[in-house]
Homo-oligomer: A and B are copies of this chain.
Amino acid sequence: MQVIEKESIIVLEGGNVTTPKGFKAGGVHCGIKRKRLDLGYIYSDVPAVTAGVYTTNLFQAPPLKVTQESIEKEQMIQAVLVNSGNANACTGEQGLKDAYHMQAAFAEKLCVPNHYVAVTSTGVIGVHLPMEKIDNGIQQVLLEDNEGATLFEKSILTTDTDVKNICVQFVIDGKTITIGGAAKGSGMIHPNMATMLGFITTDAAIGYDDLSAALREVTNQTFNMITVDGDTSTNDMVLVLANGEAKNQPLTKDHPSWSLFMNGLKLVSESLAKQIARDGEGATKLIEVQVKNASDIEVARAVSKSVISSNLVKTAIYGTDANWGRIICAVGYSGQPINPDTITVKIGPITVVENGLPTPFDEDEAKEYLQNELVQIYINLNQGDATATAWGCDLTYDYVKINASYRT
């Protein structure tokens, strides 16, 4: 494994959700999709303290209800089962029964209590799960596959173009702690919407309240700061499983290395979030909007999300057009109490607006910069010291193509 130092956190190239001690993963083809893997799992050798964040969409899918309820019982689970190709959303009472059935069947296979299994689904809305296929798939599961993590990463995808993973390591109290992650982003299936799923594993020992607080804080800075098309799915979910196999003294907020753990968790979440944004439907570029010197964090987040969500900004960047007027416009309609006369905007290294007024710049240089796969926009509000970053992607012909296609 190659390693990259980042402060005292090491990014393990090739690492994944099974790199932390005591985790296995895998994926099989059960037949919901025609050919590709469509049923994946993560398994921990021992019950793992687990925290989750869930979609705010009112039409929350049945599996999310089952998973939330199960985690609430002991704040521990031992396995996650994910199917792709069918979201089990808008499926009523039958959908809820199917989610419970899926949970019970995998629990039986693993010989663990039902509420130790989290279930989630992504894909078609409004169609009942093919339970026979899922039952058969569960029987195919072996917990001994060497390449299991890759199979898992593949089995959760819909129209993502690539798998998404990350793994980091750091040392606390002489114990090596590892955090791994996998995710899926926006995909399209009958009738699709961009669903985000994130799964994070760690061998750290940590209590539920602290893990839950950590996940919420990190999610607000990462998964909640990305957009592909502004549509919040019925099935969004991020879980973090901490099984304690690193045998460290349980981490708490008062531990001197708490911020190291938080930074590791943030690095994993941010990496997955950016991989999702970059792989947004039809995207050719990752866009990052950094807002600094805002009067408070809510202002910083609202301004960065207003700019990253603008269709006009997204199309301009697709067209390598240094269209600062659209950026200023999106800042202006963010609804935040900012001062138009103190704002400075940079597109990459190029200053385009200073104190609210346009400043001359080299259009050719800007056009060249905008051909990069990562486009960074810096907005300095010069009003305080709060900072936020949001990520998204460009809006392209392929986005329209993917989403205007007939369902099949």
A380 within 8 A of partner (CB): no
> Within the assembled complex, what's the spacing in Å between the Cα atoms of A58 and B194?
31
Q: Are A318 and B233 in contact (CB under 8 A)?
A: no
Q: Which residues of B contact A91 (CB under 8 A)?
A: 357
Q: Which residues of B contact A312 (CB under 8 A)?
A: 192-194, 229, 231, 403
If the complex has contacts A325-B125, A326-B193, A357-B90, are A58 and B396 also in contact, measured as CB distance less than 8 A? Answer: no
A328-374 at interface with B (beta carbon < 8 Å): 328-333, 335, 338, 340, 353, 356-358, 367
Q: Which residues of B contact A191 (CB under 8 A)?
A: 316, 321, 323-326
Can you list, as one digit per residue, whether each of A75-96 has a CB less than 8 Å from chain B (1) or not (0)? Answer: 0000000000000011110000
> Within the assembled complex, what's the spacing in Å between the Cα atoms of A86 and B276?
39
Q: How many residues of A contact B (CB 8 A)?
A: 60
Give A159 Cβ to nearest chain B Cβ, in Å.
Answer: 13
Give A322 Cβ to nearest chain B Cβ, in Å.
Answer: 8
Q: Are B400 and A333 in contact (CB under 8 A)?
A: no
Q: Which residues of B contact A324 (CB under 8 A)?
A: 126, 191
Can you list, as one digit per residue, whether each of A59-103 has a CB less than 8 Å from chain B (1) or not (0)? Answer: 100000000000000000000000000000111100000000000
Q: Which residues of B contact A35 (CB under 8 A)?
A: none
Residue among A92, A192, A311 having the largest count of chain B Cβ atoms under 10 Å: A311
Q: Which residues of B contact A353 (CB under 8 A)?
A: 90
Q: Which residues of B contact A293 (CB under 8 A)?
A: none
Q: Are A396 and B400 in contact (CB under 8 A)?
A: yes
How many copies the complex holds: the figure is 2
> Within the assembled complex, what's the spacing in Å between the Cα atoms of A230 and B308?
12
Q: With CB as the reference atom, state the residue of chain B lying closest to A230.
A: B311
A56 within 8 A of partner (CB): yes
Q: Which residues of B contact A357 (CB under 8 A)?
A: 90-92, 126
Give A264 Cβ to nearest chain B Cβ, in Å.
Answer: 31
If the complex has contacts A191-B324, A332-B234, are A403 and B319 also in contact, measured as CB distance less than 8 A? Answer: yes
* Besides the known contacts A59-B329, A191-B326, 20 further A-B residue pairs in the complex with CB atoms under 8 A apart: A59-B331, A90-B353, A125-B329, A125-B358, A190-B325, A191-B316, A191-B323, A193-B325, A229-B311, A229-B312, A232-B332, A315-B400, A315-B404, A318-B404, A319-B404, A319-B405, A320-B406, A367-B406, A395-B400, A397-B397
